[in-house]
């Protein structure tokens, strides 16, 4: 099934637009997992990361449509970490979740094709449904990814307007009366239009941060057929009213990522007195349900 349709079906099935970011960090893992690391070796941390992420998947698989493993945290552990990332991706797929691998990959020509071949599609070596992609090498660097989406019913999310405070240094610069992020959005729309699924959206999506709500509203209009992945909710300051403007009139077209506030919920003030360290998964479930409710009520 077309990637955009699979995502639309998953959002409808779960009644959620929440995407759980899988960003394992050594110092923030529950103590019960940290205690299993006896020699501080990459292999033991990789096992802890894998266990952590898979247990989160068990908790959220019926609550949300997708998860977003951040490759950087696994890469920091070397080959063992990358093996753990591969296992997490496969486990999420087997659990019925769509996977957005957050790798922000790209290059030119045959190298871009190799990245697309490596990550995109459940039959690829990495087995990911979709991948975050950088656009700044130009159109010819994005076309191989779009073509692989056609071949494997996969998706991509192109960096358009990122959530970090320094993103505007380049993204807001103007040429011929148009900002760089507006130029990227135009290319995303152009690549996406011939590839629409039954839901009216295509596989070439965009990343637009919740921390820039005015630009999010602008870009929703500029890319009406693209799914928007919205980071920056929660810990980075984005609020529910900021992200919901990314949805269309049917409540589709956007998914909202939240990482730290969900996966490390056991350490948050509102949960740490209610859940013991051994109940950290219950805190994840509670925080995920609370986010779902927050986005529905707003």
Q: Please tell me whether residue 120 adopts helix, strand or coil conformation.
A: strand
Pair 185, 206: CB distance under 8 Å: yes
Give the per-residue pLDDT at 168: 93
Domain assignment of residue 108, given as a range: 3-297
Exposure string of 177-204, with b = 16+ CB inside 10 Å and e = fewer, is: eebbbbbbbebbbebbeebebebebbbb
Nearest alpha-carbon partner for 206 in 249, 241, 171 = 171
Segment 15-57, tens digit of pLDDT: 999 999 999 999 999 999 999 999 999 999 999 999 999 999 9
Segment 198-219, tens digit of pLDDT: 999 999 999 999 889 999 999 9
Those residues of the chain that have pLDDT short of 50 are none
Q: How far is CA 179 from CA 29, 61, 142, 175, in A?
A: 40, 39, 19, 6
Catalytically active residues are: 104
207: domain CATH number is 3.20.20.70
Tally of structural domains, the chain: 1
**DSSP 3-state helix, strand, coil percentages of the chain (rounded to 5)?**
50, 20, 30
């Amino acid at each position: 099934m077309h990637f955009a349709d699979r995502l639309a079906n998953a959002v409808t099935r779960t009644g959620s637009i929440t995407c759980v970011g899988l960003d394992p960090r050594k110092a923030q893992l529950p103590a019960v997992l940290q205690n299993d690391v006896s020699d501080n070796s990459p292999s033991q941390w990789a096992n802890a990361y894998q266990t952590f992420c898979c247990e989160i998947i068990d908790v959220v698989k019926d609550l949300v449509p997708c998860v977003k493993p951040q490759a950087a945290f696994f890469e920091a552990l070397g080959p063992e970490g990358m093996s753990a990332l591969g296992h997490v991706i496969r486990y999420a797929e087997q659990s019925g979740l769509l996977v957005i691998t957050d790798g922000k990959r790209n290059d030119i020509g045959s190298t871009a094709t190799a990245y697309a071949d490596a990550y995109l599609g459940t039959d690829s070596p990495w087995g990911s449904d979709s991948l975050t992609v950088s656009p700044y090498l130009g159109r010819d660097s994005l076309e191989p990814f779009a073509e692989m989406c056609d071949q494997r019913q996969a998706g991509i999310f192109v960096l358009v307007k990122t959530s970090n405070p320094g993103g505007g240094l380049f993204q807001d610069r103007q040429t011929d009366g148009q900002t760089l992020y507006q130029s990227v959005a135009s290319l995303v729309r152009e690549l996406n239009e011939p590839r629409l699924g039954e839901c009216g959206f295509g596989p070439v999506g965009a990343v637009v941060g919740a921390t820039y709500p005015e630009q999010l509203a602008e870009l929703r209009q500029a890319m009406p057929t693209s799914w928007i992945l919205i980071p920056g909710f929660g810990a980075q300051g984005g609020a529910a009213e900021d992200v919901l403007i990314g949805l269309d009139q049917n409540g589709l077209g956007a998914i909202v990522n939240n990482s730290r506030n969900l996966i490390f919920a056991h350490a948050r003030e509102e949960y740490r007195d209610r859940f013991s360290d051994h109940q950290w998964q219950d805190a994840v479930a509670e925080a995920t349900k609370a986010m779902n409710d927050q986005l529905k009520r707003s």
